Structure 1
């Protein structure tokens, strides 16, 4: 039996990583780690109550409380919307509408990944869907026109992660449910940091193009203003869906769940009128959405039980007291947590990082004086970094699958954008008003 909560925590997390490395599902690994922790902890229970009955009650309570949430119903709807858009011609229309407007900007069409991912992220909610959908069109098109392959790969990896930051975001929904923070405020708070990050990516591409003009082809494509405005019409479906999904939330007309339902109807309407919808695609979108949602919910269930065990055994309190005893300044604390999240991003996916660590880190950062809304955006940045951090950077594998490039080349191409994202984390930490400005203006404190 183990009586020290800190030792128990180390043992539980070691077991969890062993389970993960053994190939068990993440939800199973979280659940089994929590069960082992309960069996090994030196509980002082009455003789009439067995550890098994206590464990069963804790599992039932944590599973019900974690999934019995109206806000969480937005999750499967946004997943379904992303699956529908993934199979429509909207990404092709995005490319055709943006190309004429980028020909005179330094770097020209190398900006296409940043702009297309930013727009698609506003209707997708998923980093993987954003990266795959945009990359399947832009990578081959940029290579065909003679643009630098490394910049194309790196900008796609960096901009693809905007699917988590620019609302609607699946990670923000999960964080809002687990932390009891308004999902609407989280969506609004992510707009300025998301646009700033996209702007920094484009700024880097401009500088590279000015310093090394060979990364773009010498031939310049010219478009008349009439052609530009004619092509602009192809962006109308995208902007219409963005307004339908996010406009209602920002104007206070719809909840995130209602907006997600409107988005699903709009996505199916776009697919139908573009001629991309048939019985086979319809069944594929439903099946894949159910599959993805069940996977996420199972992870949430396992993480909820693990967090209950963490609280029940006193692990969270002991870790909080240990960190408090170190008397770290708030910014040193955030730096330590940032390094921890970078390490976790090397071995876990973003959703697992959020649900596994939040029960421990949220009380610590709030006790240090940080607002839960700000920490939500900080955590989204950490999840974005995990998407392009080896060896489990999911976006890296998506890009490898659609480009056929060696993973080492993709890593080298992605590294400058990785550093830009870290710089953005520093800016958001030093100037938290970047996060708070829009929610305070639009909703109030």
Structure 2
């Protein structure tokens, strides 16, 4: 079968089935098995797709994902977010919008521990949002700050999405981790500048808190960041020193998170039950998506469709930067409807050969993708974080409020994407310095 005709079948059928509202994981997996059955000669093709997907999903690199997700579950119920928020309240509460600014800081720290977006959003939605609303903060600004801050979970390492991309693109997960640090910091700083300007222009958006704290009380609260910094330095430190791979560092981080939870006296029957339920549930969701998407990816690669598409695009008389911009636009649109893990595994076989043929650095391109996926987590209509914050928010916050609040933060993420495009060194400098 001609690659062009097969590409039409693969893409057209995928769009049609997903338009019917079927789950992404089962759509990809079922479609791959069905097409593999007919393209590769019956039962043999069926088994080739299934076993190939299973082999890829159980690779050593992807073993880090369940460990990081379990680590996120432990930290979710460790009480660290409550302590960090109290620290922010004591130090920044008297500043206009100080609690919202501090929420972005906490999001950045939490992002550097958990590796996924929704955990930080849910945790801060339960911890920070009621406290800020009680103090008279504007509900839309608060919702936007928490949603956008939570999205930092996939750009500031460790990041589950970066691990999936590294496995697909065959680049170093460690380099991806360090490549995301500077863009993540840029994004967080832009959020804070926007919130500060908003609260200066409209003081009612973030009024100063009434509580007064002494210097000893403020200094005492700094202990709240000691355990999070321990986990961050532990995970990134063993990667930087070469003592462990990112997969092994995930195991070390999980042990470190359990130690922190024990220090906080959060290891009890109820919390263990919650940690296991969350860890197993999120892992099941992620790996069903990975299995289905990997099956689809393998089919695209093995049938020659990916190579055909690469030749078609690179043979066009178009500037390579226009092609790159087109890819980013496709990512943005897909991000409105699909999970980031599925997006990279669906588009990878098509786009990665093109990226390499055009001479772009796969590491830099990977961070561009992750920045775009930060937007995916907060872009209406189906951004994950939007529904998470709506689910945990107090009564009175509608999904319409959340949609209205989030667009300025989407714009700031787009600005970060532009900065990374114009200055690739924001991605490549730190990995070249730290990872040899």
Task: Name the TM-score class by shorter chain.
Answer: over 0.9
* Residues 359-381 of structure 1 deviation map (CA, whole Å, 9 limit, x = unaligned): 11111111111111111111111
Quick check: 2:111–2:153 contact (8 Å CA) kept in 1?
A: yes
Q: Aligned partners of 1:191 and 1:290: how far apart in 2? A: 28
Q: Aligned partners of 1:67 and 1:11: how far apart in 2? A: 25
Quick check: 1:349–1:392 contact (8 Å CA) kept in 2?
A: no
TM-score, structure 1 as length reference: 0.92
* Residues 318-356 of structure 1 deviation map (CA, whole Å, 9 limit, x = unaligned): 221221232222221111011101111121111111111
Which stretches of structure 1, 4 residues or longer, exceed 6 Å deviation after superposition?
Answer: none
* Residues 17-71 of structure 1 deviation map (CA, whole Å, 9 limit, x = unaligned): 4433445442321122223434565x7xxxxxx333233234323421x134222
In structure 1, stretches of 5+ residues that fail to align are 44-49
Of residues 27-36 and 350-359 in structure 1, the stretch that sits farther from structure 2 once superposed is 27-36
Q: 1:411 to 1:59 in 2, by over 3 A?
A: same
Corresponding position of 1:379: 369
TM-score, structure 2 as length reference: 0.94
Quick check: 2:37–2:44 contact (8 Å CA) kept in 1?
A: no
Of residues 253-262 and 281-290 in structure 1, the stretch that sits farther from structure 2 once superposed is 281-290
Corresponding position of 2:429: 437
Alpha-carbon RMSD: 2.0
Residues 1:122 and 2:112 aligned together: yes
- 1:349-360 map, 5 Å: 349-360=339-350
**What's the offset of the Cα at 1:179?**
1.6
Corresponding position of 2:154: 164
**What's the offset of the Cα at 1:167?**
0.6
Residues 1:332 and 2:330 aligned together: no
Q: Aligned partners of 1:21 and 1:281: how far apart in 2? A: 39
Corresponding position of 1:420: 412
Corresponding position of 2:48: 57
- 1:181-196 map, 5 Å: 181-196=171-186
Residues 1:406 and 2:398 aligned together: yes
**What's the offset of the Cα at 1:218?**
5.5
Corresponding position of 1:46: none
- 1:150-161 map, 5 Å: 150-161=140-151
Quick check: 2:57–2:294 contact (8 Å CA) kept in 1?
A: no
Corresponding position of 1:369: 359
Q: 1:182 to 1:219 in 2, by over 3 A?
A: closer
In structure 2, stretches of 5+ residues that fail to align are none
Q: Aligned partners of 1:180 and 1:98: how far apart in 2? A: 40
Corresponding position of 1:112: 102
Q: Aligned partners of 1:125 and 1:373: how far apart in 2? A: 18
Q: Aligned partners of 1:36 and 1:95: how far apart in 2? A: 51
Corresponding position of 1:102: 92
Report how many aligned residue pairs link the two structures. 434
Q: Aligned partners of 1:252 and 1:115: how far apart in 2? A: 28
Of residues 379-388 and 221-230 in structure 1, the stretch that sits farther from structure 2 once superposed is 221-230
* Residues 255-275 of structure 1 deviation map (CA, whole Å, 9 limit, x = unaligned): 222222222122222223323
* Residues 395-421 of structure 1 deviation map (CA, whole Å, 9 limit, x = unaligned): 000011011421111011011000000
Q: 1:258 to 1:51 in 2, by over 3 A?
A: same
Q: Aligned partners of 2:266 and 2:209: how far apart in 1? A: 34
Provide the secondary structure at the position in 2 that maps to 1:440: helix
The correspondence for 1:300, drawn from 290, 314, 328, is 290
Q: 1:311 to 1:210 in 2, by over 3 A?
A: same
Quick check: 1:121–1:167 contact (8 Å CA) kept in 2?
A: yes
Corresponding position of 1:83: 73
The correspondence for 1:20, drawn from 15, 18, 21, is 18
The correspondence for 2:219, drawn from 211, 216, 229, is 229
* Residues 178-230 of structure 1 deviation map (CA, whole Å, 9 limit, x = unaligned): 22111111111111111111011001111112222222226665433322211
Q: 1:54 to 1:186 in 2, by over 3 A?
A: same
Provide the secondary structure at the position in 2 that maps to 1:168: coil
Q: 1:355 to 1:331 in 2, by over 3 A?
A: same
Of residues 222-231 and 327-336 in structure 1, the stretch that sits farther from structure 2 once superposed is 222-231
* Residues 272-298 of structure 1 deviation map (CA, whole Å, 9 limit, x = unaligned): 332322223223322432332233223
**What's the offset of the Cα at 1:90?**
0.8
Quick check: 2:97–2:207 contact (8 Å CA) kept in 1?
A: no
